Amino acid sequence: MIRLLVADDQDLIRAGLRALLARTEDIEVVGDVPDGLAAVEQARVLVPDVVLMDIRMPGIDGIEATRRIVADPALGAVRVLVLTTFDTDAHVFDALRAGAAGFLMKDARPEELRAAVRTVADGGALLAPAVTRRVVAAAVAGGSTPDPDDHPASSTLTEREREVLTLIGKGLDNAHIADRLVISPATARTYVSRLLAKTHARDRAQLVVLAYESGLVRPGG
């Protein structure tokens, strides 16, 4: 059973999410809160598997709440799935950088929401390639173009590891990475695991952020 905490400042949306997910056999909604500070407090009390987190909330927003949850050693197994109204919201990138495992549009279909919660609870990252690339590219565009050789996290990677990280940043899953590099899916998984260990990234979402911040993936590239 997946234990879920819902955080959204709009009562109607919060109640709707709770009612929808409570009818799902493998998901238990253990609580719902109206702001970021309450999300952090209840995450510490309830230790849910997943926090469904709105970005724009009073007090501390969903980004800061995500940052605090991820930084808490006692909540190391708690995953944050960010809900956003706009797929071009630059704040989504900030949420990924803060440690969110992915993001989902608020107009997603019920089955998409349930699948997203399951994916994140299972340790995966929810990053729709087209939306991810647009959001991340918009967030980093306008800054100086970094050199991968100068970035502390990517400078120690082998050429093959950089290739895998680049493809992760472009939104490819392990199967497509394997096809692109003509390697087995098992080998692709091994490279992803190695990247997580070498870069100290929390999950695949963090690798996407790293791919853009290091310059391996260019905005619009």
**Do 111 and 84 share a structural domain?**
yes
**Do 43 and 8 share a structural domain?**
yes
Domain count of the chain?
Answer: 2
Direct distance between the N- and C-terminal alpha carbons of the chain, in angstroms, rounded to an integer = 40
What is residue 150's predicted lDDT score, i.e. its pLDDT? 53
Q: Considering only 127-131, 187-191, 211-215, which range has the smallest mean pLDDT?
A: 127-131
Look up tokens 């306008």; give the residue. 142
What is residue 138's predicted lDDT score, i.e. its pLDDT? 58
- What is the three-class DSSP state of 194? helix
Neighbours of 200 (CB within 10 A): 9
Give tens-digit pLDDT for 91-111: 777 788 888 888 888 888 899
CATH number, position 204 = 1.10.10.10
**Do 76 and 155 share a structural domain?**
no
d(CA 189, CA 178): 9
**Do 116 and 49 share a structural domain?**
yes
**Do 115 and 15 share a structural domain?**
yes
Note the pTM of the prediction, 2 decimals.
Answer: 0.76
**Do 162 and 87 share a structural domain?**
no
Give tens-digit pLDDT for 125-164: 776 555 555 555 555 555 444 455 555 666 789 999 999 9
> Does the pLDDT value for residue 53 go beyond 90?
yes
Q: Does a structural domain hold residue 74? A: yes
pLDDT band, very low/low/confident/very high, at 39 (cuts 50, 70, 90): very high
**Do 18 and 113 share a structural domain?**
yes
Range of the domain at 116: 2-126
**Do 170 and 67 share a structural domain?**
no
Nearest to 7 by CA among 37, 34, 26, 45: 34
> Does the pLDDT value for residue 63 go beyond 80?
yes
